[in-house]
Amino acid sequence: MPETDTAAQPSTPAAGGTGSPPAFADAVRDETSLRRFLHGLPGVDAVGLEQRAAGLATRSIKKDSKLWAIDTAISMVDLTTLEGADTEGKVRTLCAKGRRPDPEHPDVPRVAAICVYPDMVATAVAALGDSGVGVASVATAFPSGRSSLRVKLADTAYAVEAGATEIDMVIDRGAFLSGRYGQVFDEIRQVKAACGTAHLKVILETGELATPDNVRRASWLGLLAGGDFIKTSTGKVSPAATLPVTHVMLQAVHDWHAATGELRGVKPAGGIRTTKDAIRYLVAVHEVAGPAWLDPHLFRFGASSLLNDLLMQRRTQLQGHYSGPDYVTVD
């Protein structure tokens, strides 16, 4: 992957999720137009999707590229703690790990962001300082999304005012599955407005969407409404991230770029625990979306335990022998 000719890559950084561009003005004019557009998207060949995902998952990378892949994956991690028992001390410890993932190896890249609940944002902001690590906060009645729009917007504003640079919102899956696409679209647009300069990741909760066609429609709905990223899962529902659904979402952002020139991101979250898993996702990114997406501005891993395995495998690459979990901090 690192040998790819970068001259052919799109040169624009992350798009910034500015909403529906003129090319899709008719698609979002009203509920009927939105429904017609979403149901007019090409159907997903579920068998072909599974076969392609399985085929790409068998790809291996050259040994001299593995360290690059590990460092790239580390730089894409949204290091996450979303538990009811979270404390300020735990968040500060996680932030220290995000800034310096392996203190004995200062060349290890920092993670992309620390992801916490809104009430822990201020703690994370103070702990991270000017490290360059972002602060992501879940919002909008995470993980269920079952609340009023007023509460969802207040939840978002609370996190942003505390210093969050990224907001991970959940869509109303009940509304989506009932075909109330306009309601979901409007909620995303209003949450995007409440984000101000913070980037918005739109969580689809693909494990509840049931079909690849629904994943494609929800992906496009998130993009049309202005999401900077589309994200698979909350990590609270099984199945969470899978390679096939991530393929569908990567294809959506690839097609969005082809139609608009804008770059939007993808974040699989939940269940990605090993370096082998991460590399499989990087191969999918390269082959489905394109090499430009091999960048933390456009691809993230939502994970809590993945970083530990990446660090252990990195030491293996450098030292020639496996380093057990006793050699890295355990969350």
Which of 272, 318, 219, 208 is CA-nearest to residue 79?
272
Given 78, 102, 155, 168, the catalytic residue: 168
Check if the beta carbon of residue 167 is closer than 8 Å to that of residue 191.
Answer: yes
Q: Is the pLDDT of residue 60 over 90?
A: no
Q: Give 203's strand partners.
A: 170, 231
Query: Strands, DSSP E only, in 151-232?
Result: 166-170, 199-203, 229-231
Nearest CA to 308 out of 316, 300, 299, 320 is that of 316
User: pLDDT class for 20, splitting at 50, 70, 90?
Assistant: confident
Cis peptide before 42 (omega within 30 of 0): no
Three-state DSSP state, 137: strand
Catalytic pick among 231, 277, 295, 309: 231
pLDDT in tens, 128-153: 999 999 999 999 999 999 999 999 99
Token pair of 223, please? Answer: 């993009």
Q: Which residue has the tokens 């994370």?
A: 124
* Residues 267 and 301 sit within 8 Å (Cβ to Cβ): yes
Q: What is the pTM of this model?
A: 0.91
| Exposure string over 144-179, b if 16+ CB within 10 A, otherwise e | ebeeeeeebbbbbbbbbebbbbbbbbbbbbebbeee
* 192 tagged catalytic: no
267 is catalytic: yes
Among 152, 192, 201, 267, the active-site one is: 267
Residue 329 has pLDDT above 90, yes or no: no
Mean pLDDT calculated for residue range 213-227: 98
